[in-house]
């Protein structure tokens, strides 16, 4: 074997040994993430949805409110907190809710106001006379008059409830009567029941409470 061949073999052997002992370079690691994009935030850490509060009134009158379920607020001096003589402009605040105005056009001296739940004025209404609350009335049997009278009761039943206090007057248009009852406490309020006849079996068709002269207006504001 020639000297040159031996030298080349020795060099190759040393190179191989050196390569085996050389350290292996570490693979590059990704830089740590410090700012995670908003869209990658897990749902559990996302902010809660904003809660929208119900709209409230800004004019001092409650929205969509009022004593809608109350049917026993009748008094000889008014209805609930709405007392006779209060200005029409203050009716909603006293009532605690919205009131619709009916028949005011062309007759501001006499018109009606009704709660929003009233389907027709005859069900329940407030009468305004000369700018002030003067009377309320109903043709519904759902309401109770001062003293306990109701639409549908007989004249005989009314006579027992208001014994000795009834003034009978003939009805203007029918064979019935107006049963007129003054405030037992001495106030100015008057309760009037209308009947469809004169006998004890005659039925009450409607009733109203108010101040004179409005409480005796047979045609209302007509």
Residue 222 pLDDT class (50, 70, 90 cuts) = confident
Residue 59: predicted pLDDT:
39
The band of 43, judged by pLDDT with boundaries at 50, 70 and 90, is: very low
Q: Which of 22-31, 133-142, 161-170, 173-182 has the lowest mean pLDDT?
A: 22-31
The label of the residue with tokens 């009278």 reads 149
Nearest Cα to 210, choosing from 200, 221, 201, 199? 221
Does 135 or 50 have the greater pLDDT score? 135
Task: Flag whether pLDDT at 55 surpasses 60.
Answer: no
Q: What is the per-residue pLDDT for 102?
A: 93
Q: Given this model, what pLDDT does residue 95 score? A: 92
Q: Residue 142: which residues within 8 A CB-CB, separation 6 or more?
A: 71
Quote the pTM value: 0.70
Sequence-separated (6 or more) residues with CB below 8 Å from residue 120: none
> Which percentage of the chain shows pLDDT scores above 90?
63
Q: In 10 A of CB 148, how many CB atoms? A: 13
């Amino acid at each position: 074997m020639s000297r040159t061949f031996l030298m080349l073999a020795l060099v190759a052997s040393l190179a191989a040994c050196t390569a085996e002992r050389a350290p292996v370079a570490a693979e590059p690691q990704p830089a740590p993430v410090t700012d995670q994009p908003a869209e990658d935030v897990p749902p559990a850490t996302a902010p809660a949805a904003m809660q929208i509060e119900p709209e409230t009134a800004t004019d001092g009158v409650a929205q969509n409110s009022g004593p809608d379920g109350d049917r026993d607020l009748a008094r000889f001096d008014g209805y609930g907190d709405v007392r006779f003589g209060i200005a029409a402009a203050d009716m909603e605040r006293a009532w605690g809710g919205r009131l619709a105005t009916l028949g005011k056009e062309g007759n501001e001296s006499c018109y009606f106001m009704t709660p929003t739940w009233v389907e027709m004025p005859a069900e329940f209404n407030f009468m305004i006379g000369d700018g002030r609350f003067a009377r309320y009335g109903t043709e519904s049997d759902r309401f109770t008059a001062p003293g306990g009278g109701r639409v549908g009761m007989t004249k005989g039943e009314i006579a027992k409830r208001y014994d000795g206090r009834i003034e009978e007057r003939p009805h203007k248009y029918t064979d019935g009567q107006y049963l007129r009852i003054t405030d037992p406490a001495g106030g100015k309020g008057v309760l009037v029941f209308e009947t469809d006849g004169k006998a004890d079996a005659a039925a009450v068709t409607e009733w109203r409470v108010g101040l004179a002269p409005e409480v005796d207006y047979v045609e209302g504001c007509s």
